[in-house]
Structure 1
Amino acid sequence: MAQVSRFTCDEASALDPARIVVLYAQLGDVAAEQVISTAMEDIAQYLVAVEKAAKAHQCAKMIADPDATITLAEQIGLSSLVLAAQNLQVCIEAHDHIAQAAVLARLMRLADRSLTEVWDLGDLRL
């Protein structure tokens, strides 16, 4: 009989708080909060769309606009989310459905942690 192993996924998100500080310094409190809020909303909407498309097996919709999402994540310092989104894009383009499912799950876990961390850093201002 085969032995089944269970792994827990507990990857910490890579957040660059310096990016948040730079945004506040360059744009001021109100504009920086608007940029961060808009970026987070757009990222969340993309992730919901990707998840729905994956469940419906619609690969074309899954890569509708990952570059914009990657750019937004970079803008607010979500480096692990950027890497996971890029990896998902590679898996989709390669039609590797098993890797795609694994990377999508990773992307969603990182998104939950990363977006929460950005909100928690909301008080970080110069």
Structure 2
Amino acid sequence: MTVIFLAPNERPRVDAEPLEMLRSDLGPFGAEDIVCRAMEDISQRLFHIQRLAIDGPPEDLHKALRALCPVAEQIGLKSMAQVSRDVMLCIEDADPVAVAATLSRLTRIAEQSLVRLWNSPELSV
């Protein structure tokens, strides 16, 4: 028997335009404050989503995912928002295997997106 290890490697899409708009509207310090608050909010929401995935009703998980999308989009984390929508579709289809797989993908994308945003000089505010 051959065991194959799959190592998903994705490059999350981060859109710099929302960050530029925040910077032009609020200045660099105001934009930095918004981005930091949004990143903290996203982290808390992801923790809540993971807990709901383990023992929460699917309706609550769907609601939490729907609430994550606008926060991610506000700071240009398009991939995270899209994968959140993908998980919602799997919930609507009542497909637990697909929900688990897309939630795992959301976790990977979210981690990579937040790290990329935090460390990227061209995306920093």
Pairwise TM-score range, normalised by the shorter structure: 0.7 to 0.9
Does residue 8 of structure 1 match 2:3?
no
Equivalent position of 1:27 in the other structure: 26
Aligned 8 A contact 1:17 1:121 in 2: no
Q: Distance in 1 between matches of 2:4 and 2:57?
A: 31
d(CA) in 1 for partners of 2:9 and 2:124? Answer: 26
Helix, strand or coil at the partner of 1:95:
coil
Structure-2-length-normalised TM-score:
0.87
Stretches (4+) displaced over 2 A: 3-6, 64-68, 121-125
Structure 1 residue 117 corresponds to structure 2 residue 123: no
The answer (yes or no) to whether the contact 1:21–1:124 under 8 Å persists in 2 is no
Aligned match of 2:101: 102
Aligned residues with identical type, % of pairs = 32
Q: What CA RMSD, in Å, does the superposition of the two structures yield over aligned residues?
A: 1.9
TM score, norm. by length of structure 1: 0.87
Aligned residues: 124
Cα deviation for residue 35 of structure 1 reads 1.2
Counterpart in the other structure of 2:51:
52
Change (3 A) 1:42 1:124: closer
Alignment of 1:35-114 (within 5 A): 35-114=34-113
SS in 2 for 1:14: coil
Cα deviation per residue 1:60-91 (whole Å; 9 max; x = unaligned)?
22123333311111111111111100001111
Q: Tell me how far 1:57 sits from its aligned partner.
A: 5.0
Name the CA distance, whole Å, in 1 between partners of 2:31 and 2:99. Answer: 34
Structure 2 residue runs of 5 or longer lacking an equivalent are none
Deviation at 1:46, TM superposition (A): 1.2
